[in-house]
Amino acid sequence: MKVFKLIPIALLALVYSCGDEQVCEVNHINVVIDDKKVEVFASIQANDEVEQYNWKFSDGFSEASINPWVSHTIIQDGNYVVELQVDLDHGNSCVFTETFEVDHATINTDTCDINIVKWELSGLDLEVEVEIDGNPSDVDVYWDFGDGSAKILGDEEADYQYLNNGTYNVTIEYAIPYGCSDSTNRIIVID
């Protein structure tokens, strides 16, 4: 898999509001290229349920989806714009625009993999450490310990204490703004 570094030119987030309350905002939009296939992932915070994601690329491609990601084939190097309109319940919507440059000369050989390198379970206590290929410095790691608690934003190490015995699906994912993202998971049984 070839992943190309993209040079973000601008990130424009148009945030719509109702009164003093913000309706939605973009956390980040990641653009990843594998050969000629472009994958765009969006992380959105919204007050209402998302009904649909409407994707439009400046080369004419568009797609409506219930998923916060889209795949598209780009044929030539150059500057491109992807626009995302997020349709929310109650008729609200937000529009985000990301401009990026596709330049095959800026090849990045990073495979974007996340790997569990430490996994220790002692009673109800779990210690986990992950390693991300290329050791990037600007990484958001999200930890979901599978027990219904909120997803936790952290770094490559986590200590977690479960409240009860049970079977849990632990999911760890990361995203680099304007770059790679990946996830891994493991099921644990605590008796």
Phi and psi at 91, nearest 5°, equal 80, 5
Task: Mark which of 87, 108, 129 sits at the end of a domain.
Answer: 108
Instruction: Please give the chain's pLDDT, 191 residues, in tens.
Output: 444 443 343 333 333 333 445 678 877 777 777 666 788 888 888 888 889 999 999 988 889 988 888 888 877 778 889 999 999 988 888 888 888 777 765 444 445 788 888 889 999 999 998 888 776 766 778 899 999 987 888 888 899 999 999 999 999 988 776 567 788 888 888 98
pLDDT digit string, tens, across residues 132-176: 877 676 677 889 999 998 788 888 889 999 999 999 999 998 877
Give 99's contacts (C-beta < 8 A, 6+ positions apart): 8, 9, 10, 11, 12, 79, 80, 81
| 27 and 101 assigned to the same domain | yes
Give 135's contacts (C-beta < 8 A, 6+ positions apart): none
CATH of residue 147: 2.60.40.10
The type of residue at 105 is A
Q: Which two tokens stand for residue 157?
A: 């190490």
145 is in which domain, residue-wise? 114-190
| 99 and 135 assigned to the same domain | no
Q: Domain count for the chain, please give it.
A: 2
| 165 and 139 assigned to the same domain | yes
Task: Mark which of 82, 108, 134 sits at the end of a domain.
Answer: 108
| 14 and 95 assigned to the same domain | yes
Q: How far apart are CA 189 and CA 165, in angstroms?
A: 8
